[in-house]
Structure 1
Amino acid sequence: MSTTDLAPGANLAVLRKAHGKSQRRLAKDANVSLSLLSKIEVGDRALTPAVAAAVGKALGVSMAEVLGESSVAQRDEVRLSALRSALRDYDLPGRREVNEQRISAALEVAGQHRDAVDVTQLLGMLPGLLRAATTYAHTVNTLDAWMALSETYSTVYWLAARHRWMDMAELAVTRQRWAVEQKPNPLGEALAARDRAGAYLNFGEIETGLVIVDRAVSAAQTSLSGTDRDIAVGILNLRGMTLAGRLEDKREAAREADRHIRSAWNATTAFGAEVDVHGLTIGPQNTFTHELATRVDLGKPRDALRLVDDLDVALEGLPPTRVAPTRINVARAQLDVGDRDGALENLGIAWGVAPQMARIHPMGREVFRVVSSLHRRSNAKLLKLSQLSGIEI
């Protein structure tokens, strides 16, 4: 797996050469223009998720590999190994007694680390939490206990997907599905389907991810009612709009994205504010952030920028895990319309809110690579972000 010491566009150039393909050959195989591919590799244009998926397919690798796997510090390798071990031991509960209060408290702390994008602290606590939640679920064998284990697996998936550790991400969603199937749990199954579709998104297998979403929405509408149904349908459609925005056929992408956007907003109207559900969030603000990102993926940066007059107000109260990616998506849109200074400003805000995202968020790194390449001279802000991200300018 390639490394994100390089931003995605630069990493693509390394991958292409490693596979022995010329730019012309890869552009033809991926059905992208030679000019665009050349500009991406030298840093004049950003590598978008849709193009990353297309070139990945042409190279015979996943989109995640094109974007590049994030490494961890040497001191964290032991923790990562411990997490992989805990994932393997899914059916081997420990002997030490675990109570509900311990699991609830640990899940709350894990949620705080996730919201803050504190991946270092999260990696440190997840192996122990996963083993404790496994023991608790096997011991008491209640729906709530299995749901706590499912939520833990969802957090493991989130961490793995952010680093493009796709073997771990794929295993985590498989374990999550297994956990919610231990007791009849339609809401848990919907949330697990959301993460499973996310794994397909990370691999660049967009059409399959959409099938997972639509099937899960249909099941939720049949098996759930009231607030639980609105939660399930809303969260699934947030994933659906993200997937749809990255379809290769842009007409189909726009049509499918609009369908999921409308459905998400219809479900969201039941909530006057953001609602947290087993580590996930549904509500008007989160729906807005997903729609904005989808408009950018659709190649409609001006539509995305027109969604809000005051971004500070629109994001008020949301955690860094939502604020930072939204700022990055706004920066993407600004870069697309030629506002380099605005893009740099929003990227700086994103990384200021969630500093560890500078090392792991592929699009944030890609936007910085392009902005720094297009600036004719370095400045204090560029130098600061270069140090934060580890990307030379």
Structure 2
Amino acid sequence: MGVGARISRARRFTRLTQRQLAEKSNVSLSLLRKVEQGDRPATPALTAAVARVLGVSVGDLNGQPYMPESDDSAAHATIPELRRAIVAYDDESVAVLVTFADLENALDRVREGMRRARYSDMTAELPDVIRGLHQLADTESAGRHLEEIHSALAYAYSKAMLFAYQYGYLDLAGLAAERCGWAADRSGDPIWPIAAEYNRALIHLYSGAYVGGLRTIDRAYAATKSLPKTPDLMAVRGALHLRGSILSARSLDHDAAESHLQEARTIAETVGNSRYNNYGTGFRPSNVDIHSIAVPVEMSDGTTALSRAEHIRLAPSVAPSRAGHYYIDLSRAWLLHGNKNRSFHELEKARAVAPEMTRNHPQVHETLRALARTGRGTDQLARFAKWANVKI
């Protein structure tokens, strides 16, 4: 069942007509009809708006988490243990006897797994990393080393949040984001609490709480103004602008979204090739280019997205996780533009570079259903849909 069918079922359960739901959600009646019929993919903004009116979660309408038949089963199987580590972080019945250096090395492996969008490579170690860091913090006296432990904890929780988010466990992602903020406040690093707010804004974004997310971004940005303008700080500022650009785009505020993009691009040019700690935000000049495509796509403007894409060439050094998002957004842009062959071609590129992320991305599922519904019904598409566990 796709998002449109789930919307239709929930709407009938609440005894709303299509017109009533469209009016209460502030979306076009004709668009809602097309989405329910499967003729148009449901955008994240539409899904969030309808979810609020229907009293369900975005995850409910997306059908997340997507339970795999085989390929991602190992990653999904780690979720219960990760949940226990986050909820019962101070449970002394589980001993993790490792050094801080061992845990830092494990975090490096987690970082690389996230960069490569190979989430199953990182999940097995993450619960014990969280437990181990908490055990070290419990035995360490106040001082710089304790702050370093809490900095590592903030990073570990931020990666736990992203993993849970990518696989559709939004309640767990929200809890991890809160724990990231808790650790950041104890890190002794004034930039970490700002980066933690950047993470919290992602939960707002997914939940459709765009106003709250933008307030979070504004609050975090205001906190940067009293700090020295180091490359580390500027990178986090740039990341805040990029998240603000997507929040604004989902709110259909074109001017604000473009303003955030321009500020981020200016910062990227300013930091240049400087070495800096981006606090897990992944801020890079290439990420500004990727967001410049995502912004118009979120506002259903495929023409602008494709026009900008003509001037973008992703370098081989771009992280697979970033490149995968880029190709998924290009696929959405081509679908909006009416070119279904190119849309499917971009999905294939996303699969090649970041298979786990592509398989679990709600917009990939929606795009596949739209391609099948609008006549792009080939054996190639059917095989792709089967791989992604999407019924078409």
What TM-score, normalized by structure 2, do the two folds share? 0.90
For residues 130-175 of structure 1, the C-alpha deviation after alignment (integer angstroms, 9 at most, x for no partner) is 2122223334453221111101100111011123322111111111
User: Is the alpha carbon distance of 1:119 and 1:12 closer, same or farther for their aligned partners in structure 2, counting shifts above 3 Å?
Assistant: farther
What residue is the counterpart of 1:349 in the other structure?
349
Letter matched to residue 195 of structure 2: L
Q: Percent identity of the aligned residues?
A: 28
Cα distance in 2 for partners of 1:133, 1:123 equals: 16
On the 8 A contact 2:59/2:65 being kept in 1, the answer is no
Cα distance in 1 for partners of 2:10, 2:136 equals: 44
Q: Following superposition of structure 1 onto structure 2, how do residues 1-393 of structure 1 map, counting pairs within 5 Å?
A: 6-72=1-67, 79-92=78-91, 95-140=95-140, 141-247=145-251, 250=252, 253-273=253-273, 277-309=278-310, 311=312, 313-375=313-375, 378-393=377-392
For residues 32-87 of structure 1, the C-alpha deviation after alignment (integer angstroms, 9 at most, x for no partner) is 22221121122211111111121111112333332232144576665322111111
For residues 102-132 of structure 1, the C-alpha deviation after alignment (integer angstroms, 9 at most, x for no partner) is 1121111112222222233333222122212
Cα distance in 1 for partners of 2:11, 2:169 equals: 21
On the 8 A contact 2:231/2:276 being kept in 1, the answer is no
Cα distance in 2 for partners of 1:71, 1:220 equals: 38
How far 1:315 moved relative to its partner? 4.7
For residues 196-230 of structure 1, the C-alpha deviation after alignment (integer angstroms, 9 at most, x for no partner) is 11111111000110001011011012124221221
Letter matched to residue 151 of structure 1: Y
Structure 1 stretch 40-49 or stretch 150-159: which is displaced more? 40-49
Cα distance in 1 for partners of 2:4, 2:352 equals: 23
Letter matched to residue 39 of structure 1: K
On the 8 A contact 2:324/2:358 being kept in 1, the answer is no
On the 8 A contact 2:96/2:131 being kept in 1, the answer is no
Structure 1 stretch 238-247 or stretch 23-32: which is displaced more? 23-32
How far 1:303 moved relative to its partner? 1.5
User: Is the alpha carbon distance of 1:76 and 1:113 closer, same or farther for their aligned partners in structure 2, counting shifts above 3 Å?
Assistant: closer
Cα distance in 1 for partners of 2:340, 2:277 equals: 35
Structure 1 stretch 140-149 or stretch 42-51: which is displaced more? 140-149
Cα distance in 1 for partners of 2:119, 2:6 equals: 23
How far 1:95 moved relative to its partner? 4.9
How far 1:7 moved relative to its partner? 3.6
On the 8 A contact 1:194/1:213 being kept in 2, the answer is yes
What residue is the counterpart of 1:3 in the other structure?
none
User: Which segments of 5 or more consecutive residues in structure 2 lack a partner in the other structure?
Assistant: none
Letter matched to residue 85 of structure 1: R
How far 1:101 moved relative to its partner? 1.9
Cα distance in 2 for partners of 1:392, 1:183 equals: 46
Cα distance in 2 for partners of 1:352, 1:147 equals: 34
On the 8 A contact 2:173/2:203 being kept in 1, the answer is yes
For residues 349-373 of structure 1, the C-alpha deviation after alignment (integer angstroms, 9 at most, x for no partner) is 1112222224310111111111121
Letter matched to residue 208 of structure 1: G
Letter matched to residue 233 of structure 2: R
What TM-score, normalized by structure 1, do the two folds share? 0.90
On the 8 A contact 2:351/2:359 being kept in 1, the answer is no
User: Is the alpha carbon distance of 1:315 and 1:300 closer, same or farther for their aligned partners in structure 2, counting shifts above 3 Å?
Assistant: farther
Cα distance in 2 for partners of 1:78, 1:298 equals: 36
Letter matched to residue 199 of structure 2: D
On the 8 A contact 2:149/2:187 being kept in 1, the answer is no
Cα distance in 2 for partners of 1:202, 1:351 equals: 22
On the 8 A contact 1:98/1:135 being kept in 2, the answer is no
For residues 274-333 of structure 1, the C-alpha deviation after alignment (integer angstroms, 9 at most, x for no partner) is 96634331121011111210121123222111213265x325321221111110111111
Aligned length: 382
